[in-house]
Chain A
Amino acid sequence: MKRQWLLVNLLVLVVDTTGLAQEKKELRWGTDPIGGGPYVYRDDHGNFVGFEVELADYLAQELGRTSRMVTGDWDKLPELLDKAPGENGIDIVLNGYELRADLQKQYPATRPYYIYRLALIIHKDQAATITGWGALQRLKPDGTKHTVGVLGGSVAHEYMKSRTLADTIDLKINPDVATVIGLVEQKRLDATVQDTPAARFYVKRSNSLMLADEPRKSGFYVILTRPGDHELREQLNRAITKAIRSGVLKTIYEKYGLWNEDQERLLYWAEHTDWPPPLEASAEETVDESAPDMKQLVVELLAAAGMTVFLSLTSFPLAMILGMIVALGRVYGAWYIRFPCSFYVEFLRGTPLLLQLYFVYYLLPKLIPGFDLTPVQAGILGLAINYSAYEAENYRAGLLAIPRGQMEAALALGMSPLTALRVVIIPQAIRIVIPPVTNDFIALFKDTSVCSVILITELTRKYNELYNFNREYILELAFVTAGLYLLMSYPLALLAQFFEKRLRYSGGEVR
């Protein structure tokens, strides 16, 4: 009897939860909180706030759903729509995505929920140099280019890239708005171009930042959806229109200081039959929208591959030298040398390269006043330090593989220990470790992609950048990128095989 009662209870519970799930279907909206305020950010209590959080809550309520924030990398959010809805899938992208013709084709957009402009942010100390947008068309007084940071894949990125500024601007791409703005604050970038909501949010909170000119080139923030989700799109459009009409949107935007006269046009666009509109832009602001052909994209990828090769070729020799010094310290040093060398190796092997690059580029200059590195210098140093730990272990194995008698024979001839190491031990150890060191060199080629976090445009970064604006070539670009990596690493792989064979045939002794 008891057992039957238990079963009935269980059944009721199951039916109940199913009912609940049906009642409270989620509206899963994709966002990248790293982008920060005023879109989505954490308040002093650690809760997510922001005008898009409130908008999502409102939309979910209007749609009879519960709002569920799903996080991802900003420039990959549209691809999340391609995933099957489930644990990691999303229903919409709601994160300051601008209305763009290329995106609209693949991920149809709703009516706009905000009208932004592009703002030029500078450090106040730069006010005399960068007086406005026009100043970017001239070189700096010292004859160098302006370094301008943009969010990779954003309209600001596309806009700055397409302006004829290649000779006067060195564009720095980063996936994180706060980081780029922080670098302008530290005067390590000359300027950044951001959408007005982010620009005003950060300028307001900083004593050293300012807008260099009037924001220009307006555009629409829209919600991206799956092509097949007509009904959801219609529901969202109705909810947005209602929010504009009822003043709910204005209330939200005023709360975050985002309401301005541009927003007065939202209702027109929400109801206008001819949506999406042609973008309004003056002649000098025109974005070059002619689609680049594949050849042009490959040329851009090749140029970025040049940076990958440069980073590898400069950092690896440094890593080898550092690694050898550390390995010698570990094998032949006194305890007070061995201990720090061991710690060096374990610390660097035990922490991610990404973090180390962050440390070298973003934190070291804060810790050591006057210490400043360009992104490329920081990239080379970071890669060299990271790989030196792995090389140290390779060399240590090589040094330990040399019979003790070799050192004794050299010492017995009257060589000093340092000469014995230089002439007898190290040359033999290096020959032994050539195959693993070559393998590490191949790995380094691929790890240079991590340098994109410190504003370096190498092959992977360039691929990301290009596919953002050329989603129709997404597969072709991926294949070309992979092919370029293969082209760079395969000869090295052959070299490693050659050395391995040579070692094997000479019975361990290298000729």
Chain B
Amino acid sequence: MIVVSNLVKYHGSLRVLNGVSFEVRRGEVAALVGPSGSGKSTLLRCINGLEPFHSGDIRLGQHLHLVGGRTPPHDTLLQLRRQVGMVFQQFHLFPHMNVLQNVMSGPVYALGRPADEAEATARQWLDRVGLADKLHARPNQLSGGQQQRVAIARALAVNPAAILFDEPTSALDPKMATEVMRVIDDLADDPHVQVAMVIVTHDLAAVKTIADVVHVLGSGKIVFSGSAQEAFAPGGPASALE
């Protein structure tokens, strides 16, 4: 479970996040929506420890705790990142590795798992995202949608407690975007994949389908938390985004 409390983050003198608080449980899909520049991506990067924040705190489970204004201990940061996977808008696959190696990279280099065990895990996840026939392809031989599915498999291969999706379909054409959202939706519905998911996206149709809860971010704060139905109801807090 991820618990974010009163998170404040500045970019220079600009207060990008102004006391954000929300929670996500295992098995839950939370969508973060809001106008461009409202701090959605920054919030995800703070949760993953890629950016420091100035005050507030982030808890993951019982033991992992990031406190604003303090540099987290190296080990805490590593543990946190191993528990919180991230899928980026631009995929960021490693171009010098093939698909299988990309997915194995987390288990092998971050968790120190033996190569054969990592390979078995990687094959399983690649099969799960429908890319079992692309194991030895290079990232630049794949379509954008396929690349993003590899990125999702890569994030899942370290067996995280949560996955953060940062605009996972923004760089894709509608067909590929649908393909990727379907994979995310399948994972969300899979009772064996008990991860907390936080998804930042402008694909509001997908949000309506897959999100258990919608948080609307405005002026650096969560201005609404509730179901997609409530959020997108006529005159609702997210209706202006449509």
Residue B237 lies at the interface, judged by CB distance under 8 Å to chain A: no
Closest to A422 in B: B109
Query: Judging by beta carbons under 8 Å apart, are A509 and B95 in contact?
Result: yes
Write out the residue numbers on chain A whose beta carbons fall within 8 Å of the beta carbon of B50: 408, 411-412
Stretch at the interface among A144-152, A270-278, A423-431: A423-431
Query: Judging by beta carbons under 8 Å apart, are B111 and A509 in contact?
Result: no
Write out the residue numbers on chain B whose beta carbons fall within 8 Å of the beta carbon of A405: 88, 90, 92
Within 8 A of B (CB), among A407-434: 408-416, 419, 423-424, 427-428, 431
Query: Judging by beta carbons under 8 Å apart, are A511 and B92 in contact?
Result: no
A111 to nearest B CB, angstroms? 74
Write out the residue numbers on chain A whose beta carbons fall within 8 Å of the beta carbon of B111: 414
How distant is the Cα of A403 from the Cα of B95 in the complex, in angstroms? 11
Residue A506 lies at the interface, judged by CB distance under 8 Å to chain B: yes
Query: Judging by beta carbons under 8 Å apart, are A415 and B85 in contact?
Result: no
Write out the residue numbers on chain B whose beta carbons fall within 8 Å of the beta carbon of A409: 86, 88, 92-94, 151
Residue B110 lies at the interface, judged by CB distance under 8 Å to chain A: yes
Write out the residue numbers on chain A whose beta carbons fall within 8 Å of the beta carbon of B204: none
Write out the residue numbers on chain A whose beta carbons fall within 8 Å of the beta carbon of B84: 412
B160 to nearest A CB, angstroms? 9
Within 8 A of A (CB), among B70-98: 74, 78-79, 81-82, 84-86, 88, 90, 92-96
A425 to nearest B CB, angstroms? 10
Write out the residue numbers on chain A whose beta carbons fall within 8 Å of the beta carbon of B81: 411-414
Write out the residue numbers on chain B whose beta carbons fall within 8 Å of the beta carbon of A431: 96
Residue A208 lies at the interface, judged by CB distance under 8 Å to chain B: no
Residue B48 lies at the interface, judged by CB distance under 8 Å to chain A: yes
Query: Judging by beta carbons under 8 Å apart, are B95 and A419 in contact?
Result: no
Write out the residue numbers on chain A whose beta carbons fall within 8 Å of the beta carbon of B96: 427-428, 431, 509-510
Residue A19 lies at the interface, judged by CB distance under 8 Å to chain B: no
Contact pick for A414, options B88, B138, B139, B158, CB 8 Å: B158
Closest to A506 in B: B140
B169 to nearest A CB, angstroms? 17
How distant is the Cα of A405 from the Cα of B139 in the complex, in angstroms? 15
Write out the residue numbers on chain B whose beta carbons fall within 8 Å of the beta carbon of A408: 50, 88, 92
Query: Judging by beta carbons under 8 Å apart, are A414 and B106 in contact?
Result: yes
Query: Judging by beta carbons under 8 Å apart, are B48 and A412 in contact?
Result: yes
Residue A406 lies at the interface, judged by CB distance under 8 Å to chain B: yes
Closest to A427 in B: B96
How distant is the Cα of A412 from the Cα of B78 in the complex, in angstroms? 9
Write out the residue numbers on chain B whose beta carbons fall within 8 Å of the beta carbon of A416: 74, 78
Q: Mark B124-166, 1 if CB is under 8 A from A, else 0.
A: 0000000000000011100000000001001100100000000
Interface residues on B, range: 20 to 34
How distant is the Cα of A511 from the Cα of B88 in the complex, in angstroms? 23
Write out the residue numbers on chain A whose beta carbons fall within 8 Å of the beta carbon of B90: 403, 405
A429 to nearest B CB, angstroms? 10
B143 to nearest A CB, angstroms? 15
Residue A507 lies at the interface, judged by CB distance under 8 Å to chain B: yes
Within 8 A of A (CB), among B177-212: none
Main secondary structure of the interface of A (DSSP, over half): helix
Residue B105 lies at the interface, judged by CB distance under 8 Å to chain A: yes
A419 to nearest B CB, angstroms? 5
Given contacts A405-B90, A411-B50, A506-B140, contact A423 B95 (CB under 8 A): no
Query: Judging by beta carbons under 8 Å apart, are B106 and A509 in contact?
Result: no
Contact pick for A510, options B79, B88, B95, B109, CB 8 Å: B95
Contact pick for B78, options A414, A424, A510, CB 8 Å: A414
Write out the residue numbers on chain A whose beta carbons fall within 8 Å of the beta carbon of B158: 413-414
Write out the residue numbers on chain A whose beta carbons fall within 8 Å of the beta carbon of B48: 412
How distant is the Cα of A510 from the Cα of B88 in the complex, in angstroms? 22
Q: Chain B CB within 10 Å — which of A415, A419, A427 has the most?
A: A415
Write out the residue numbers on chain A whose beta carbons fall within 8 Å of the beta carbon of B110: 413-415, 419
B104 to nearest A CB, angstroms? 11
Query: Judging by beta carbons under 8 Å apart, are A414 and B82 in contact?
Result: yes
Query: Judging by beta carbons under 8 Å apart, are A423 and B105 in contact?
Result: yes
How distant is the Cα of A427 from the Cα of B105 in the complex, in angstroms? 14
Given contacts A413-B105, A506-B140, contact A406 B154 (CB under 8 A): no
B197 to nearest A CB, angstroms? 15
Write out the residue numbers on chain B whose beta carbons fall within 8 Å of the beta carbon of A415: 105-106, 109-110
Write out the residue numbers on chain B whose beta carbons fall within 8 Å of the beta carbon of A414: 78-79, 81-82, 106, 110-111, 158
Write out the residue numbers on chain A whose beta carbons fall within 8 Å of the beta carbon of B94: 406, 409-410, 424, 428
Given contacts A414-B81, A506-B140, contact A406 B109 (CB under 8 A): no
Closest to B78 in A: A414
Write out the residue numbers on chain B whose beta carbons fall within 8 Å of the beta carbon of A423: 105, 109
Q: Chain B CB within 10 Å — which of A413, A415, A428 has the most?
A: A413
How distant is the Cα of A14 from the Cα of B96 in the complex, in angstroms? 76
Within 8 A of B (CB), among A268-293: none
Q: Mark B105-127, 1 if CB is under 8 A from A, else 0.
A: 11001110000000000000000
How distant is the Cα of A423 from the Cα of B78 in the complex, in angstroms? 16
Write out the residue numbers on chain A whose beta carbons fall within 8 Å of the beta carbon of B138: 509, 511
Q: Chain A CB within 10 Å — which of B49, B92, B140, B154 has the most?
A: B92
A selection of 19 A-B contacts at a CB cut-off of 8 Å is A408-B50, A408-B88, A411-B49, A412-B81, A412-B84, A412-B155, A413-B105, A413-B109, A414-B79, A415-B106, A415-B109, A423-B105, A423-B109, A427-B96, A428-B96, A509-B96, A509-B138, A509-B139, A511-B138
Contacts A405-B88, A414-B79, A510-B96 given; 7 further ones with Cβ under 8 A? A403-B92, A405-B90, A406-B94, A410-B94, A413-B110, A415-B106, A415-B110
